[in-house]
Structure 1
Amino acid sequence: MTLTRAMVANDINGSISDLGRALNLNWEMGYEEGQIITLETEESWSNGGQFTVCNDFPVSYQLFIENEVPCHIVDYTNEEELEAIGAEECDDEKECLIPAGTKLRVTRGEESIDLDEMGYYTIYLEYIEED
């Protein structure tokens, strides 16, 4: 059986707070305080790694999950895992995968002052445990 990105993301091996993610999009997401987001696919996040967004779309976001979230902390010594997630030679990213279905609540949504003063939106989220 070939290892997939979803299989790696669902192999929870840690719980980390203060994960971050950078996005550049062609549109504004409209994040609002209190909004609940359910991840549709597994997502790459980091806790202080070096990551460069590989597109020049005009709307930039910096997202942060403040509390601990169960995730898969990438093992950069595991070649099969790196190949499955497309992270060969990316150990400076300190990647963590959060599985699809994870629920996050927006605690600080889009504020125009962020975009005006910094050129990007800063969004804060919190992990919501399933009941």
Structure 2
Amino acid sequence: MTLTREIVSKNINGSISGLGRALNVNWEFGYEEGQIITLENEESWSDGGMFTVCNDFPVSYQLFIENEVPCHIVDYTNENELKSIGAEDCEDEKECLIPAGTKLRVLQGEQEIDLQEMGYYTIYLEYIEEEN
């Protein structure tokens, strides 16, 4: 079986609070307090790593998950894993993968003052556990 980004993301090996993510996009998402977001794809987050967004789209976001979220903490000693997720030579990113289907609640949505003063939106989220 070929190792894929999706398979790696579902191999939960940790639970971390304070994960962050930087995005540049072409439009505002319209995040509002209380909104529930379900991740459509596995996503890369970090717990303090160095990451540079590699596009110059006009709208910037800094997203943070305040509570612990189950994730896959990337093993930078596992060459097969690194190749499958495209993370070779990216140890400084301290990448964690969150699988598709994960639910997050917006604690603080878009605030115009953030955009005016800092040039980006700061969005705070919390992980919502699935009820069995």
Q: TM-score range by the shorter chain?
A: over 0.9
- 1:31 aligned residue: 31
**Structure 1: tracts of 5 or more residues without a match:** none
CA distance in 1, matches of 2:61, 2:117: 13
Tell me by how many angstroms 1:100 deviates.
0.2
Residue identity matched to 2:66: E
- 1:99 aligned residue: 99
- 1:67 aligned residue: 67
Tell me by how many angstroms 1:41 deviates.
0.3
Tell me by how many angstroms 1:42 deviates.
0.1
| Number of residue-to-residue matches in the alignment | 131
Does 2:105 align with 1:112? no
Does 2:32 align with 1:19? no
Tell me by how many angstroms 1:47 deviates.
0.3
- 2:49 aligned residue: 49
Alignment partner of 2:87: what SS? Answer: coil
Tell me by how many angstroms 1:93 deviates.
0.2
TM (normalized to structure 2)? 0.99
CA distance in 1, matches of 2:45, 2:80: 20
CA distance in 2, matches of 1:31, 1:50: 25
CA distance in 1, matches of 2:25, 2:41: 17
Does 2:3 align with 1:8? no
Tell me by how many angstroms 1:109 deviates.
0.1
CA distance in 2, matches of 1:62, 1:77: 28
State, as a whole percentage, how many aligned pairs show the same letter.
Answer: 83
* Cα shift readout 1:50-101 (whole Å, capped 9, x = no counterpart): 0000000000000000000000000000000000100000000000000000
CA distance in 2, matches of 1:11, 1:62: 26
Does 2:114 align with 1:121? no
TM (normalized to structure 1)? 1.00
Residue identity matched to 1:24: N
**Structure 2: tracts of 5 or more residues without a match:** none
